[in-house]
């Protein structure tokens, strides 16, 4: 696993006249949990969609795990915002869906995780709590054994306890799979807890990127303070 998880060179995305991402430069080493933070409209979702190959860049180059985004859908696991699941399908049927649609599916891993969470396989997904639903979506994304997990604001709607459980699961999965992860969030406390790499976007530009421990060493104060400083008006 020596290929970089992500490399962006002058990556730009425009929607009509509006520039969502401008000349983004990134080089993220593998095995990291990357926290992508920034105010609303900073370009976080745009960058995640580019990583998943859901949209095409307007300029520049992006490689994911050394390849074109979307070149190998099995290599990237995506947990979308609000963690959608099929309300009418049971939890067990979601695992079956994953098994049918993914060549590298790890059925044992998925089952073990659902059992650990104490979720009944016969329960319909529409009747799960928000936290359980998010856990199910994460399990489906992780059991396809991707090399990179991408999560778009996965815990935004969860209460603190469920969020805590979700973040713990995420770290366990990433360790288990030996994968990398990118997660966007505006909850800086979550990012501080689980991420070891930080990318801070503002107005479509990267304001700050690097290993969390390096950032902490170079600045004074906690990560949350530093990030807020960058979001509100550049480095102090």
Partner 1 sequence: MIWLSWRQFRTSALAGLIALLAAVVPLLLLGIRLKQSRRSYLASCADAVRCADALRQYAAEHQNMLLFIDAGVLLVPALIGMFWGAPLIAREFETGTHRLVWSQSIGRRRWFTIKMLVVAAAVVLAVSVLTGMLTWAAGPVDTAAGDRFTTIVFGARDVVPIAYAVFGFVTGAVLGLVMRRTVPAMALTGLLVIVTQFVVANGVRPHLLPPSHETRAMTASAINELRGLGGLTNRPSVRGLTVPDAWVTSASDLRTRDGRTLDPAVFGACIAPPAPGSSGSGSSGSGGTFGAAADCLGARDLHVDVAYQPNRRYWPFQLIESGLLIGLAMLVGGFGWWRIRRR
- Rounded distance, CA 106 to CA 98, Å? 9
Residue pair 135/115 in contact by the 8 Å Cβ criterion: no
Choice from 102, 135, 180, 185 touching partner 1 (CB under 8 A): 102
Residue closer to partner 1 by CB (options 61, 101) is 101
Choice from 2, 18, 88, 161 touching partner 1 (CB under 8 A): 88
Q: Is 93 in the site for partner 1 (CB under 8 A)?
A: yes
Residue pair 202/38 in contact by the 8 Å Cβ criterion: yes
Residue closer to partner 1 by CB (options 149, 201) is 149
Can you give the length of the chain in residues?
A: 236
* Distance, CA of 174 to chain centre: 11
> Residue 35 CB, nearest distance to partner 1 (Å)?
20
Residue pair 28/197 in contact by the 8 Å Cβ criterion: yes
Residue closer to partner 1 by CB (options 143, 209) is 143
Residue pair 173/25 in contact by the 8 Å Cβ criterion: no
Binders of partner 1 in range 44-73 (CB under 8 A): 52, 54, 73
**What six digits make up the tokens of 56?**
């095409």
Residue closer to partner 1 by CB (options 149, 209) is 149
- Rounded distance, CA 147 to CA 44, Å? 20
Q: Is 103 in the site for partner 1 (CB under 8 A)?
A: yes
Q: Is 180 in the site for partner 1 (CB under 8 A)?
A: no
Binding stretches for partner 1 (CB under 8 A): 52, 54, 73-74, 76-82, 84-89, 93, 96-98, 100-104, 137, 140-141, 144
């Amino acid at each position: 696993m020596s290929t970089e998880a992500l490399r962006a060179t002058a990556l730009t995305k425009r929607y009509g006249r509006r520039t969502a991402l401008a000349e983004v430069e990134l080089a993220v080493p593998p095995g990291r949990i990357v926290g992508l933070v920034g105010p609303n409209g900073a370009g976080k979702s745009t960058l995640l969609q580019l990583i998943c190959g859901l949209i095409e860049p307007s300029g520049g180059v992006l490689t994911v795990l050394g390849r074109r985004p979307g070149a190998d859908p099995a290599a990237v696991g995506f947990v979308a915002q609000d963690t959608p699941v099929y309300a009418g399908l049971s939890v067990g049927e979601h695992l079956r869906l994953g098994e049918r649609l993914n060549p590298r599916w790890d059925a044992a891993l998925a089952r073990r995780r659902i059992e650990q969470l104490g979720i009944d396989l016969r329960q319909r997904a529409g009747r799960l709590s928000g936290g359980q639903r998010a856990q199910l979506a994460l399990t489906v994304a992780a059991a396809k054994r991707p090399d990179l997990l991408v999560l778009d604001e996965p815990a935004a709607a969860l209460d603190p306890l469920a969020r805590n459980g979700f973040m713990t699961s995420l770290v366990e999965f990433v360790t288990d799979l030996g994968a990398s992860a990118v997660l966007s969030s505006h909850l800086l406390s979550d990012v501080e807890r689980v991420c070891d790499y930080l990318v801070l976007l503002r107005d479509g530009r990267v304001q700050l990127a690097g290993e969390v421990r390096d950032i902490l060493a170079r600045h004074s104060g906690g990560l949350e303070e530093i990030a807020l400083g960058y979001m509100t008006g550049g480095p102090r």
